[in-house]
Chain A
Amino acid sequence: MTDSSARLAAGSVHPSTGLIFRSLFRADFTVLLRNARTLILNIALPILILVITGLHGGSARAGFTGSVFDIALALTYGLMSSSLIGYSLTVARDRDAGVFQRLRVTPAPTWAIMTSRLLVQIVLDIIMTVIVVALGVITRHLDLTVAQVLLLGCVSIAGGAMFLAIAQAIVGLVRSAAVVNALGRVFYVVFLLLGLLGSSGLLGSTVHAISNWSPVGAMINLYGGVLELGSWDWTDTTGLIATAGYIVVGAFIGIRWFRWDSR
């Protein structure tokens, strides 16, 4: 075989999707593990919330016992922080730097490039859920069935998908990394205040009702519903509907208007 024909043979290799996806996933997971901000937001903060609220004997809210609300809050906080502040900013910065364009000139399908990034976030969300729930079981003496543990995992996947869809919508609509960073923080504060203050009932029944449909309110209700499975009610169902709605709308906007290049 001549040099030239060897080159042509190598050049016509069609990479398998499995190998491409594994390579992307390995790299994205490495990047995530090296990102201290993401690890702090995703894992350390939820644990801190659980520890701090535990020192004060739990923070009961209407419809929940203190421990259930604290765990639901910690889990929701972890999901939201890593997506709205971690994921959206990383995507916006990589887009600015041309990382996506470099990947797109390879034979990697574009869906694989983005799915890999989303998947590593979901995996981290599941790890965070396992840690927080395990801590909850140990420190708050929760008695969970296997079904409840599995359902908590499912809620974390759905919640992670919801916040990632919202984050994706932000990077889809906004090109500038600085604006994405600012918007992520604004949404973060608004969602947190709406979810927490609304669910407290301090701002009246209308805000309470709105809060149930907000991302944070929906997640707290969903987690609460699963942790106290016997008392599942319409409020928990609205959480499920709202989560599905945010996923569909956020994903549509985030995919439809996403640009791989910030220029």
Chain B
Amino acid sequence: MNEPSEPSEPSGASSTAAILDIDGLVVRYGARTAVDGVTLRIDRGEIFGLLGPNGAGKTSTLSAIEGLVKPSSGTVLVDGVDIQRDPLAAKARLGVQLQASSFQAELTIDQIVRLYAGLYGLPIGPAEIADRIRGIGLGDELGKRFKSLSGGQQQRLSLLIAVIHQPVLLLLDEPTSGLDPQSRRQLWDRIERLRTDGGSILLTTHSMEEAQAVCDRVAIIDHGTLVTLDTPAGLIARHRDDPRVTRVARGEVTLEDVFIGLTGSEIRD
């Protein structure tokens, strides 16, 4: 077995600006097509939002990027590394916060941080682990178990784990779901700081407010296909006069009007 972690040359690593390059992605579960030919690029330092109703294909797209599901066709390059051909190298470049933050219930917070630091090749000691935990304001909770934390505290720990190895691309699946306004604002600040530090972020969200507040560009996905893609302001400008949008708008057209206009008003389960 190889001893400590070594910097490795990525196989097929790209020097292009795109940190994520998805081309013709198709994900099928049996007869059902969850993602149908999605193509998109995310640039370095960009915060990109993927919006869509329930079952639109957001999480399936993210799962394909994370290597959790095998695409039926198409390619996903993370910093130039093909997730299918070299999944471990691609995953080493990714930071992930899943929709449900799940860690072993019997482990304490410091043990969880130690575990994930090891999985990303960072042999950090107890003092540095404690420092990092204090850095997210959980210094008093060091020896507590994950399940005993509040929702906001769990979210902060999940984000710490997701960025512990300074990933080039951070994937956040509905990161503010279930958070109170204070925790949500704190998370937005953290996301903004991550970008300032040079990271790129892809997040899915149901919150149009969040998309407008933090995203440089957003794409709306529905029935597995990308419906539209632009900056939040660009999307509003582009679809301001679309009859589907004007029909649902109440006054000045908002991003939410564009979203509902393009994806329909019916409730999805």
How many Å lie between the Cα of A113 and that of B165 in the bound state?
Answer: 19
With an 8 A cutoff between CB atoms, is B98 at the interface?
Answer: yes
The interface stretch among A7-15, A56-64, A153-161 is: A7-15
How many Å lie between the Cα of A17 and that of B3 in the bound state?
Answer: 8
With an 8 A cutoff between CB atoms, is B7 at the interface?
Answer: yes
A18-B120 in contact given A27-B115, A101-B68 (Cβ < 8 Å): no
Which of A7, A23, A94, A261 is in CB contact (< 8 Å) with B166? A7
Q: Is the CB–CB distance between A105 and B7 below 8 Å?
A: no
B residues near A16, Cβ cutoff 8 Å? 1-6, 121
Q: Least Cβ distance of B175 to chain A in Å?
A: 15
Q: Is the CB–CB distance between B197 and A9 below 8 Å?
A: no
How many Å lie between the Cα of A152 and that of B102 in the bound state?
Answer: 39
Q: Is the CB–CB distance between A4 and B8 below 8 Å?
A: no
Number of CB contacts from chain A to chain B under 8 A? 152
A residues near B117, Cβ cutoff 8 Å? 23
Q: Is the CB–CB distance between B92 and A15 below 8 Å?
A: yes
Q: Is the CB–CB distance between B102 and A97 below 8 Å?
A: yes
Measured CB to CB, the nearest residue on chain B to A20 is B119
With an 8 A cutoff between CB atoms, is A31 at the interface?
Answer: yes
A19-B118 in contact given A2-B198, A10-B166, A102-B103 (Cβ < 8 Å): yes
Binding site secondary structure of chain B: loop
Q: Is the CB–CB distance between A12 and B92 below 8 Å?
A: yes
Which of A7, A98, A99 is in CB contact (< 8 Å) with B197? A7
How many Å lie between the Cα of A105 and that of B89 in the bound state?
Answer: 11
Binding site secondary structure of chain A: helix
Q: How large is the interface on A (under 10, 10 to 19, 20 to 34, 35 or more residues)?
A: 35 or more
Q: Is the CB–CB distance between A107 and B13 below 8 Å?
A: no
Q: Least Cβ distance of A13 to chain B in Å?
A: 5
How many Å lie between the Cα of A106 and that of B104 in the bound state?
Answer: 15
Q: Quick one: which of A7-41 are within 8 Å of B by CB?
A: 7-24, 26-27, 30-31, 34-35
How many Å lie between the Cα of A106 and that of B117 in the bound state?
Answer: 10
B residues near A102, Cβ cutoff 8 Å? 98, 101-103
Q: Least Cβ distance of A211 to chain B in Å?
A: 37
How many Å lie between the Cα of A2 and that of B165 in the bound state?
Answer: 16
How many Å lie between the Cα of A138 and that of B119 in the bound state?
Answer: 44
How many Å lie between the Cα of A236 and that of B208 in the bound state?
Answer: 69
The interface stretch among B47-55, B106-114, B253-261 is: B106-114
Q: Least Cβ distance of A20 to chain B in Å?
A: 6
Q: Which residues of B contact A (CB under 8 A)?
A: 1-10, 13, 44-45, 66-68, 79, 88-89, 91-94, 96, 98, 100-107, 111, 114-123, 165-168, 197-199
Given contacts A12-B89, A15-B5, 15 further A-B contacts (CB under 8 A): A7-B199, A12-B79, A13-B5, A13-B6, A13-B7, A14-B5, A15-B120, A23-B114, A24-B118, A30-B111, A34-B106, A102-B98, A105-B66, A105-B67, A107-B88
Q: Which residues of A contact B (CB under 8 A)?
A: 2-24, 26-27, 30-31, 34-35, 94, 97-99, 101-109, 260-261
